[in-house]
């Protein structure tokens, strides 16, 4: 079966999209920290003011610290909220603090971003983890 280069590119992008660390899903607890559906550690940024509804990590910062994105159908509950980013996309937050992945973490359980520049911390919560509807 022959595929056009356009079809090959589309298939590649679709597959990459399913592997990205920014795919939308509610946070869960693992090994004492919050993680995304992919098992990767989540972090908070000290420059983000709790309950401001705003992320201070945009542009190049968000390339290094990809946000935990929320979909249009995701709903906030308990300590988990959803903020609107500068680009209009939605991001999960816990106790009013936006949640991020660290691009240098390579596998579930890595916490290499904890304490980075004395501004990034692993996200922890006393809240019950949200359950995925999947």
Strand 90-94, strand 80-84: pairing: antiparallel
What's the predicted TM-score (pTM) here? 0.76
> Which residues, in sequence order, are CB contacts of 134 under 8 Å at separation 6+?
25
Residue 59's region, left for phi above 0, alpha for psi from -120 to 50, else beta, is left
pLDDT in tens, 2-11: 444 443 333 3
The reported pLDDT for the residue numbered 81 is 94
Burial class (CB in 10 A: 0-12, 13-18, 19+), 118: exposed
Mean pLDDT of 99-108: 98
Domain ranges of the chain: 24-122
How many Å apart are CA 67 and CA 122, to the nearest integer?
14
**In this model, does residue 118 exceed pLDDT 90?**
yes
Q: What are residue 120's DSSP bridge partners?
A: 45
**In this model, does residue 128 exceed pLDDT 90?**
no
Mean pLDDT (the chain, rounded): 82
The residue that leads in pLDDT, 127 or 102, is 102
How many Å apart are CA 20 and CA 16, to the nearest integer?
6
């Amino acid at each position: 079966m022959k595929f056009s280069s356009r079809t090959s590119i589309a298939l590649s992008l679709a597959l990459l999209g399913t592997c990205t660390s920014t795919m939308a899903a509610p946070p869960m607890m693992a090994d004492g920290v919050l993680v995304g559906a992919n098992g990767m550690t989540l972090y908070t940024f000290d420059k983000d003011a709790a309950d401001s509804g705003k992320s201070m990590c945009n542009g190049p910062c968000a390339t290094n610290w990809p946000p935990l994105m929320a979909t249009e159908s995701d709903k906030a509950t308990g300590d988990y909220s959803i903020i609107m980013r500068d680009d209009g996309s939605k991001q999960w937050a816990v106790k009013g603090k936006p949640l991020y992945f660290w691009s240098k973490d390579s596998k579930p359980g890595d916490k290499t971003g904890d304490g980075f520049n004395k501004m990034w911390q692993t996200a922890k919560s006393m809240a019950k983890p949200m359950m995925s509807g999947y």
